[in-house]
Amino acid sequence: MSIEIKAPTFPESVADGTVATWHKQPGEAVAADELIVDIETDKVVLEVVAPADGVIAEIVKGEGDTVLSDEVIAHFNAGEAGSAAPAAQAEASEAATTDGDKVGPAARKLIDENGLDASKIPGTGKNGGITKEDVQNFLKGGAPAAAPAPAAAAPAAPAASVNVVAGERVEKRVPMTRLRATIAKRLVEAQQNAAMLTTYNEVNMKPVMELRKQYKDLFEKTHNGTRLGFMSFFVKAATEALKRFPAVNASIDGNDMVYHGYQDIGVAVSTDRGLMVPVLRDTDTMSLADVESTIADFGKRGREGKLGMEDMQGGTFTITNGGVFGSLMSTPILNPPQTAILGMHKIQERPMAVNGQVEILPMMYLALSYDHRMIDGKEAVQFLVTIKDLLEDPARMLLDV
């Protein structure tokens, strides 16, 4: 039975997508619900799975082609038996190479793409043949010290080969992914279209750290393994501050200012595909455990490429944490159409003056970038001071004072 494989239904905010990777080829056996192709959009990568056991009869849209919502991208024959996977065929082909040609087709492609010399790559295949894995290992580690040298080779030969490989000036040109291009476009637009300004402050993290140290084991035990981190404190502090300063929780739509009666906070997540900002919904109703477990789920799905469009749509405010990478201070860029973004940074011990005495305290710089068209400097500073005050006295968040 022939079945049409279609692109997913895109939401209104996504006009089209691009075929990123075909994981299965025509004639190859496919199991039901097995991943066959990735469709990359401006926001996420969508996975398309096989509707049943069978084979792909024809690929209509190749890698790099643009596809519309629900457009046919392939034809699928359900119930048919397919051939072995191309990877297995390639390995078989590599194993079957003769002594005269010890480089398999998959390995040859990698060698040509990277401008390598096959004679310098030690082979682990049959009869010393070079496999794809051999080339990948060579690229990762450079010229291996254990590579066997010819018996009659001069002593200087291995050193010469090492110098050649180490001195290569290899360049690799790859097209910008659709997601990366969209991120670049939005960042430039944010700088060009908004009157962006940043205000800074610093917060003493000692009270939060002591509270976390005191209750983290009990918290994890009570909430089924959910760990108590710092982000939940910042989310709850930001939520309270947003309620007090509605302009920071607003957005600009043309000539209109839209004030939101709820707090949906986006949390920046770094993935291999780029920066993504999934959104915590109605944070005013979320507990610390809810925030921590949801963020942990976002991070896991982000690394696996399984964040959906519904996870990233909307948002009234954003928090980004460069401190996890060691950033001491930075200026975050707005996430349009939002009017403000909070930047967290590394916790650094510094000598601070406390009641006329010098104390070593764990301090963090905070940065609030905001759109001056919507938010006055006074509001921005007071908003950031509110977050500082709540974090330096966490009981205020519980008492709502």
Known catalytic membership, residue 290: no
Q: Which of 166, 152, 87 has its CA nearest to residue 120?
A: 166
With b meaning 16 or more CB within 10 Å and e meaning fewer, what string describes 49-83?
ebbebbbbeebebeeeeebeeebebbebbeebebe
Show Cβ contacts of residue 181 under 8 Å, excluding neighbours closer than 6 positions: none
Known catalytic membership, residue 345: no
Q: Count H helices, E strands: the chain?
A: 11, 19
Secondary structure letter of residue 313 according to DSSP: S
Q: Which of 267, 279, 286 has its CA nearest to residue 315?
A: 279
The alpha carbon of residue 33 and the mean position of all alpha carbons in its chain are separated, in whole angstroms, by: 25
Alpha-carbon span 246 to 241, nearest angstrom = 9
Alpha-carbon span 131 to 118, nearest angstrom = 11
List the catalytic residue out of 70, 117, 217, 372. Answer: 372
Show Cβ contacts of residue 338 under 8 Å, excluding neighbours closer than 6 positions: 251, 266, 315, 316, 317, 318
CB 391 within 8 A of CB 205: yes
Please give the span between the terminal C-alpha atoms of the chain, in angstroms, as a whole number: 66
Whether the ω angle into residue 86 lies within 30 degrees of 0, i.e. cis, is no
List the catalytic residue out of 256, 376, 389, 400. Answer: 376
Q: Which residues are catalytic?
A: 372, 376
